[in-house]
Structure 1
C-alpha cells in the first residue's frame, strides 16, 4: 500500500516536534504534523516557559529588599501586569515561530487544525480531509483536571493564569503538587494575597519528606497561608468574589480560585479506542519501552503516556521513537534517575530516591545540613538552605540528592550527572569544595545524621 506520509504526528509540543524533526532529517521520512492550538505545546505556550518567566518576575521584590540591605537606595514600585503580559505574549510568539520554522526547515508539513485517528493508518483533519500514513505518533500531552462539584465551573487553571486581564487581589490555590506550589509562590511574589488548600498531610507529595517540609515552611514564612488536610466542598459567586466552603468548616471569599489538582492525558475524542489502542487509567496511552501502543503502527510519547510528565523526558521519548522506527537505531528512553526542579520560593531540586523510598529498599546513611546562606543572611532574611544526600550503607553509592535553596534547579542538574554515573559518597568527599558557595556543602558533609 502507498501512503501519503511515512509518519503523521498528532500534537506540536516538545515530544511531537522532536520526533517529527528526527524522523525527517535523520530517517528521511515524509512527515506531517497536526496541532490544533499553537506550536510548542504545553511547555512553551502555557507551562514551563511562561511559568519560569513569571517566577523571575515574582522574585524582583525580594531582590530589591536585599539591595537596600546591601546599601543600594532601591525601592519597589507597583507591578504592571499588563506590561509584563505584553512582553510575555511577544516572547511566546517568538518561540512558537521558532518551533514552526524548525519543522518547516526539516521538511515537515504542518496542519494547523485538530486531527483524530480513523484507523491504524488513517487520520482525519478537522476540515474533513483524510490522510493515510504508515505510522501515527500521538503526542497530545495532558490537560488540567478540575473535579466536578457545586460551583467548580468558577475555577480557573494553570492554562488560564497567563491570560488574565488583571491579577486578582486574592486567590485560593487548590492542590499540593508542584504546579500548585509554584503558582502560589509566583502570585504571592507578584503581590496577590495567596491561600492554598491541599487535602493531603503535606504539599509536594512524592518528594523527600524533609525537603518538602522545608519548602512548605519557607512558603509560609513568605506569607502564603497553607491549609493541609483541607478541601473545597462548594463554591458560589457573590458580589465580593467567590465564596468557598471547605471541609474544615470555614467559609471564605476570594477574588479568584485556581485549581491545580493534577493533569490528565489528553486523549478524549481522538478515536484511539475505536482504532484498537489500549488506554489506561484516566485515558493514558499504554505503551511499551519503545513507545509502541497495542496497535503496531501507532506510537505515543510525552505526557499522554503518563510515564514521567516532564518536557525533557518527552523530548527523549520522541527522539528514541524516531531513531528506532526511522533511523535504524533501536533506542529506549531512559526513565531512571531523572532530575527535577520545583520553582517554588524556596526552590527544590531532586534526583534519585527520597529518604523514605531508599530506606524501604535497603540500609542507608543520610548526610544532611541546613544553614542560612550568606547572601540572604547578610540582608537579614531568615531563609534556610537544606542539602541532603541519601547513601547506600552497603555500597556507598549516592541514591538520592535533595536541595532546597536559591538556584536548586541549577545545582541539581550538575549533581544529577555524578549520580547518574554512579558516584559514591567517597567520590563526593574527594571533590574539593568551591568556596564560598552553597554547593560546597554537598562535598563537605562527613558524618551521617541518620542510619538505618
Structure 2
C-alpha cells in the first residue's frame, strides 16, 4: 500500500491545473483535482474565451455598416443580445465537457467542491473529507478586485457580465486596463453608450504609450466617453435596473450596469496556506521558485495565483513544466522573456518585448521605427482610422527589443512576429524579408 491517497492533488481545474493534471497522469502519477466552480477555470468559463466570442459578435456591427461600400445591401438589421449571450454560454458548456473529458481520459479523479490545504500533504474538501497527497499543486487563479465603496453590491464584474438578462443601453466601466477596454469596445459596438471612469489619467498602463494614445483617440471618436482622475465614491440603486454613480469632484452618472474592471488578485482567501507554513508575498501572491515550488517543499503553485504574468498560456506552460519536473524526470523552467500579449479592444492592440519607455531605461541608446498607415479595408469603407506599428531596436546591435501593433488583426499577426523577436532577430533581418502585398502585415518589413 502507498503512503498517500494520491501522488498529486491539484486545487483548481483551470488551464494550468488541468494541464498539470493530465501531464502528471501521463507520467504515471495517481492524480486528483478539485474545482469549486466549473472545470475549465476563468479563461474558459468566464474570461478570455467567452469574451473573445462577444468581441467576434460585436465586430458584425462594423462589418454590416461597411458592407454597402462593398456592394452589399442589407435590410432590417437587428441585434438580439439574448441570442448572442446564449450562443456563447452554450459553447462554454461544450468546452467544460471537453475539459472534463480530458481529465477522464487520463484517469484523473475530480471532485466538484472546494478544497483547502490541511497540511503539507493533506487537503480538506468542503464535504469534510480529508485526502492525503505526496504533492499538492495550487492552481486557483485570480479573482476580480472590488473597491470598498458604498453600494458596491450594485456593481458587477467580468464574471457576471456574460449572464446579463437584457442588453444595457448605458454602461459605466470603472478601470482602464485590458478587461475594461475590451468590454468598452464590445458594448460600444453593440450600441450601448459607454463611459469609462478611471482613477488615473491613463488607459492600458504598461503598454506602449504611442499605441495607447492612438487607441484613446479612436475609441473617443467611436463614441466612448472617458472621465479621468475620477474615483467612484458611492453607487446608488434607483427604481428598476438604473444605478446612479457618484464621484468626488464630478457630476453623477446614471447607468444600467456598473462594471468594475480594476484588476484581479490572487485567489488565496481561506485556502489554508497557514496550515503548511506558506506566507503570502507583497502583492498577496503565493511566492514560488523557478520550479514553481512554494516554501513548503511538498506544495507547488502555478498560474495567476503566483501573480507573475496573468496570462492563460503562461499558466499552461507552468503547469506542464511542473508535471515534467516533478513526475516526468525532466526538470525545466519557464522563460518569461518576450511573452506576447494582446488587448482585444476595437481596434485590437498587441505587443511583445520592451516598450519604447522600457527600452530607454534598460538599454539607453535605442532606435524606434514605425509605420503609421490607413489600412486598405478602412479606405474602401471610408473610415479614417489609422493603424500604428512600432519597432524598438537596440542601436548598437540592431536587435529588435520590442514590437507593438495597433490595428485590425494585430494579435493574429503578432503571434508569428513574436517568434522573430524571441529568436533575437535584427531590424536588418526584418528588412531582408520580402513584403507580402497587399497586407497589413507587410508593414512589419517596411518600417522606417
TM bucket by the smaller chain? over 0.9
Contact preservation (8 Å) 2:371, 2:446 = no
In 2, Cα distance between the equivalents of 1:72 and 1:393? 49
Counterparts of 1:432 and 1:262 in 2: how far apart (Å)? 41
User: Hey, what does 1:272 align to over in structure 2?
Assistant: 273
**d(CA) in 2 for partners of 1:36 and 1:238?**
34
Establish whether residue 242 from structure 1 lines up as the match of residue 243 from structure 2. yes
2:300 aligned partner = 299
CA contact (8 A) 1:278 1:293 kept: no
After superposition, the C-alpha distances for 1:192-219 in whole angstroms (9 at most, x for unaligned) are 1100001112100000111111111111
Matches within 5 A, 1:100-179: 100-179=100-179
Q: Distance in 2 between matches of 1:131 and 1:294?
A: 21
Q: Name the structure 2 match of 1:379.
A: 381
Question: Which has the higher mean CA deviation after the structures are superposed, 409-418 or 229-238?
Answer: 229-238
Aligned partners of 2:392 and 2:401 also within 8 Å? yes
Counterpart in the other structure of 1:262:
263
**Corresponding residue for 1:285?**
286
Does residue 398 of the first structure (1) align with residue 400 of the second (2)?
yes
Q: Is the 8 A contact 2:120 2:275 kept in 1?
A: no
Question: Are residue 17 (structure 1) and residue 23 (structure 2) matched?
Answer: no
Whether the 8 Å CA contact 1:44–1:50 is kept in 2: the answer is yes
Counterpart pick for 1:364 among 366, 373, 377 = 366
Structure 1 residue 427: Cα displacement: 0.3
Distance 1:333 1:76, change over 3 A: farther
Larger mean Cα displacement after TM superposition, 75-84 or 399-408: 75-84
Q: How many pairs were matched up?
A: 445
Q: Deviations over 1:172-203 (max 9, x none)?
A: 00001000000010111111110000111210
Q: Map 1:79-94 onto structure 2 (within 5 A).
A: 79-94=79-94
Q: Which runs of 5+ in 1 are unaligned?
A: 447-452
Shift of 1:286: 0.6
Q: Distance in 2 between matches of 1:82 and 1:445?
A: 44
Secondary structure class of the residue paired with 2:9: strand
Task: Provide the rounded CA distance (Å) in 2 between the counterparts of 1:412 and 1:174.
Answer: 29
**Is 1:71 the equivalent of 2:71?**
yes
- Describe the SS at the equivalent of 2:390: strand
Give the match for residue 416 of structure 2.
414
Task: Summarize the Cα distance change of 1:13–1:107 in structure 2 as closer, same or farther, 3 Å threshold.
Answer: same
- Specify the alignment match of 1:344 in structure 2: 345
Distance of 2:107 and 2:383 partners within structure 1: 54
Deviates more, 1:375-384 or 1:170-179: 375-384
Structure 1 CA distance for aligned equivalents of residues 229 and 413 of structure 2: 32
Instruction: Kindly provide the CA deviation profile for residues 73-98 of structure 1, in whole angstroms up to 9, marking residues without a partner as x.
Output: 02462211111222112111110000
* Aligned residue number for residue 356 of structure 2: 355
Retained in 2: the 8 A contact 1:65–1:75? no
Counterpart contact for 1:34–1:114, Cα < 8 Å: yes
Query: Deviation at 1:249?
Result: 2.2
Measure how far apart 1:278 and its partner are.
2.1
- Counterpart in the other structure of 1:186: 186
Helix, strand or coil at the partner of 2:203: coil
Quote the Cα distance in structure 1 between the aligned partners of 2:243 and 2:59. 28
Distance of 1:160 and 1:431 partners within structure 2: 46
In the TM superposition, 1:210-229 aligns within 5 A as 210-229=210-229
Match of 1:209 in 2: 209
Q: Output the CA distance in 2 between the equivalents of 1:86 and 1:244.
A: 29
Q: Distance in 2 between matches of 1:221 and 1:369?
A: 21
Q: TM-score, normalised by structure 2?
A: 0.98
Contact 1:143–1:266, Cα closer than 8 Å, also in 2:
yes
Determine the C-alpha separation between the residues in 2 that align with 1:21 and 1:217.
Answer: 46
CA distance in 2, matches of 1:247, 1:335: 40
Question: 1:325 is matched with which residue?
Answer: 326
Separation of aligned partners in 1, 2:172 and 2:32: 42
Instruction: Give SS of 1:387's match.
Output: strand
CA distance in structure 2 between the aligned counterparts of 1:75 and 1:257, rounded to whole angstroms:
33
Deviation at 1:277, TM superposition (A): 1.1
Q: What SS does structure 2 have at the residue aligned with 1:299?
A: strand
Contact 1:10 1:137 in 2 (8 A): yes
Cα distance in 2 for partners of 1:395, 1:189 equals 44
Which residue is 1:315 aligned to? Answer: 316
Instruction: Output one character per residue of 1:242-287: Cα deviation in whole Å (capped at 9) or x when no partner.
Output: 1111234211211111000010110101101232112113431110
Change beyond 3 A, Cα 1:44–1:429: same
C-alpha RMSD over aligned residues? 1.1
Equivalent-residue separation in structure 2 for 1:132 and 1:369 (angstroms): 58
Query: Is contact 1:433-1:443 (8 Å) kept?
Result: yes
> Which residue is equivalent to 1:450?
none
